[in-house]
Amino acid sequence: MKAYTKIASVLFVLLQITAIAQKKSAADIKESEFYKIIDVPIPKDIILEVGGLAMTDDNKLGVSTRKGEVWLIDNPLSKKASYSLYANGLHEALGLAYTNNGFYLSQRGELTRLEDKNNDGKADVFKSIFSWPLSGNYHEYSYGPKIKSNGDLIVTLNLSWVNGVGGVALTKWRGWMLQITPEGEMTPIATGLRSPAGFGINENDDLFFTENQGDWVGSGRLTHLESGDFAGHVSGLKWTDDPKSPLKLKIEDIEEFSGMTLFEYSKKVPELKAPAIWFPHTVLGISTSDMLYHKKGVNFGPFENQLFVGDQGHSKIMRVYMEKVNGVYQGAAFPFREGFSSGVLRMIWGNENNMFVGMTSRGWASRGRKPYGLQRLEWTGKTPFEIKTMKALNDGFLLEFTKPVNKKFAEDVANYDMKSFTYRYHRTYGSPIEDNQNAMIHKASVSEDGKTVKLMVHGMRLGYIHQLKAQGVKASSGEKLLHNAAYYTLNEVPGGVLNSPAMPEMPKKSNEIKQKKRTIEMPFTWTDGPDRKITIGTKPGMKFDIKEITLARNAKIELNFINSDDMLHNVVFAKPGAHVPNTLGEAALALGLDAPKYNYVPNSPNVLYHTGIVGPESSEKIFFEVPKHPGQYWLVCTFPGHSNTMKVKVIVK
């Protein structure tokens, strides 16, 4: 996960907390009526950078940490929750599971079983179940285990990261999901994984993992993995010549720039698995993490059998409804709950129907500004008015609501809006939104009981994400939808034949939009060239490599922005004002699906000049004239989530 690509700068973040009181968003306030976030107290001397969570059979909450400790929390629901150290000296424990054999956890280089034989509350057995080689590369995170119904243990291994190259598999089985018996027999299951911090198993023993945007990964996504599957990142294919590998596909079998989407390419390469769910980048999170099934019997509201997916950068949890159509998993992702105190990494069901949420920001400034945290989410007993499920039909979608709808509003097609779009499959980091097209809701009909609405849609497209906005739909009581957006990934339709008329061919608009405040060629009026050339780079932890710069008023500047980081960034020269950087960051987020088209730069009078969005290991030069009025201006990155740490004071004299 992205957070782990950054070196912890905990102290820096701590300083920030004192400076910035956490602001509650409007969504957070509305959501809290239905789902309450409650702190689990953490003693001051414990740095609980949560890596894994597991409930024991005597209702203690086990927490493993990046620092290599395992804590047992007694009475985790009470204000008097008490902590005891169960184990320490472990190597970065980013996953934890509990069985009647004790705890299992992943360390960087092995799957380990812990047991407390003499019952003194501390582990005395540290048994290595299976180990894998390490190169020493900082990015070799190991996650899990999750446990299959037969007791086998599943782990996932993050790719190494090499600057200038991207995700690589420096050692055996990096980029893979492995199945390991409690006796230590290992079977490789699937590859193509890049940063598989989140994965899970449903009640049918089906395996899924979540992925973050990155090289070969256009946006966050959830993929169903079966033996022999290839999920898209080529580097793990390095190990397919091992006799144990269930697939033979090679790195060179995949074109680096085919111009295709992953869905299209998967029709060409049978091993390649298209995701069941896409999470549009910055719209539904930026770094998907853990997944948790709403299992039967948990008293947590109307979403039984659905899936919750965490997001680290946005400190929130999304909700997913999945269905199997023609044997293929697909479905819809919805916003669910935001406002957690740090980056959401782990979720687990506790006793008494609480969801525990374990967090760490790792200096990768998550929206929740604390460096780490442990909270729980509690259903208040009130049912929100939500789109509960969204199912694909061959000519539209079937929506089920949590409460009966007002028929008049729900049958008015003007109260809906639909678009479809996709991402490109290529070795580059991320992908812009491709081929965004309007669809048309042709007819909306409400069921007798008012709980379902059938939408007939023109312009549905296989392999595309369908964004539904149901902004005008109200409950029969007049209540508005808590969240009116849904994102359905359409891989298949029932019966196999799509029966949705195509939209009339629109004149193809170029994806490139000319932005007046971005000048990438030296103006021809600068006959003597720039007065000054400056270079700005990036540092780990979402920072620029300078904190302050002084510029002469009216000077002609050539600014070279070199992004040596592994994320996307831009540079925006902004007007004075303490709140300007964060205001611009929020305005960029509000651009939604259009953000990439505008380089994540909002249309605001506070923006004076800017670069395009610059990928990892890339650069861009821009040319501008320093304003004539002296003052303290800004250079800020407006990519969502970055403006808080990525800013430079510009003193104009």
Q: What residue ranges bind Cu ion (CB under 5 A)?
A: 569, 637, 639, 642, 646
* SS3 state at 333: strand
| Residue 303 vs 639, nearer CB to Cu ion | 639
Rounded Cα–Cα distance for residues 341 and 50 (Å): 13
Is 159:193 a contact under the CB 8 Å cutoff? yes
Minimum CB–partner distance for residue 198 and Cu ion (Å): 23
Give, for 453, the enclosing helix (H) or strand (E). Answer: strand 452-458
Kindly write down the DSSP assignment for every residue of 405-435, as one continuous string: BPHHHHT-GGG-EEEEEEEEEESSBS--EEE
Reading the block at residue 258, the tokens are: 């085919």
Minimum CB–partner distance for residue 341 and Cu ion (Å): 22
| Residue 108 vs 362, nearer CB to Cu ion | 362
Is 236:176 a contact under the CB 8 Å cutoff? yes
Minimum CB–partner distance for residue 565 and Cu ion (Å): 8
| Residue 75 vs 163, nearer CB to Cu ion | 163
* DSSP type of residue 120: S
Minimum CB–partner distance for residue 571 and Cu ion (Å): 9
Minimum CB–partner distance for residue 586 and Cu ion (Å): 14
* Burial state string for 298-317 with b = 16 or more CB within 10 A and e = fewer than 16: bebbbbeebbbbbbbbbbbb
The residue assigned the tokens 């200096």 is: 363
Angle at alpha carbon of residue 131, lines to 125 and 133, rounded to 5°: 140
Reading the block at residue 432, the tokens are: 């812009």
| Residue 209 vs 429, nearer CB to Cu ion | 429
> How many distinct helices (H) and strands (E) make up the chain?
5, 43
Minimum CB–partner distance for residue 270 and Cu ion (Å): 38
| Residue 421 vs 573, nearer CB to Cu ion | 573
| Residue 334 vs 561, nearer CB to Cu ion | 561
Reading the block at residue 27, the tokens are: 């969504």
Kindly write down the DSSP assignment for every residue of 178-230, as one continuous string: EEE-TT--EEEEEE--S---EEEE-TT--EEEEE-SBBTBSSEEEEEE-TT-B
Minimum CB–partner distance for residue 229 and Cu ion (Å): 33
| Residue 418 vs 637, nearer CB to Cu ion | 637
Dihedral, CA of residue 302, residue 284, residue 343 and residue 635, to nearest 10: -150
| Residue 412 vs 586, nearer CB to Cu ion | 586
**Residues 6+ away with beta carbon under 8 Å from 385:** 401, 402, 403, 475, 479, 480, 481, 482
**322-327 long-range CB contacts below 8 Å, 24 or more apart?**
322/276, 322/277, 323/389, 323/391, 323/392, 325/392, 325/491, 325/492, 325/493, 325/494, 326/492, 326/494, 326/496
Is 212:193 a contact under the CB 8 Å cutoff? no
The strand pairing partners of 649, in sequence order, are 548, 634
SS (H, E, C) 274-289: CCCEEECCCCCCCCEE
Minimum CB–partner distance for residue 24 and Cu ion (Å): 24
Minimum CB–partner distance for residue 6 and Cu ion (Å): 12
| Residue 467 vs 638, nearer CB to Cu ion | 638
Reading the block at residue 116, the tokens are: 């407390």
Minimum CB–partner distance for residue 17 and Cu ion (Å): 20
| Residue 309 vs 542, nearer CB to Cu ion | 542
Rounded Cα–Cα distance for residues 406 and 160 (Å): 53
| Residue 487 vs 639, nearer CB to Cu ion | 639
Kindly write down the DSSP assignment for every residue of 529-590, as one continuous string: --SEEEEEEEETTTEES-SEEEE-TT-EEEEEEEE-SSS-B--EEE-S-TTHHHHHHHHHHT
| Residue 161 vs 639, nearer CB to Cu ion | 639
Minimum CB–partner distance for residue 621 and Cu ion (Å): 18
Kindly write down the DSSP assignment for every residue of 201-213, as one continuous string: E-TT--EEEEE-S
| Residue 77 vs 637, nearer CB to Cu ion | 637
Minimum CB–partner distance for residue 116 and Cu ion (Å): 45
Minimum CB–partner distance for residue 616 and Cu ion (Å): 11
Minimum CB–partner distance for residue 641 and Cu ion (Å): 8
What does each C-alpha distance from 634 to 16, 557, 596, 638, 644 come to in angstroms? 18, 15, 22, 11, 12
Minimum CB–partner distance for residue 562 and Cu ion (Å): 13
Reading the block at residue 128, the tokens are: 């290595």
Nearest by Cα to 86 from 57, 64, 58: 64
| Residue 228 vs 430, nearer CB to Cu ion | 430
| Residue 263 vs 561, nearer CB to Cu ion | 561
Is 242:407 a contact under the CB 8 Å cutoff? no
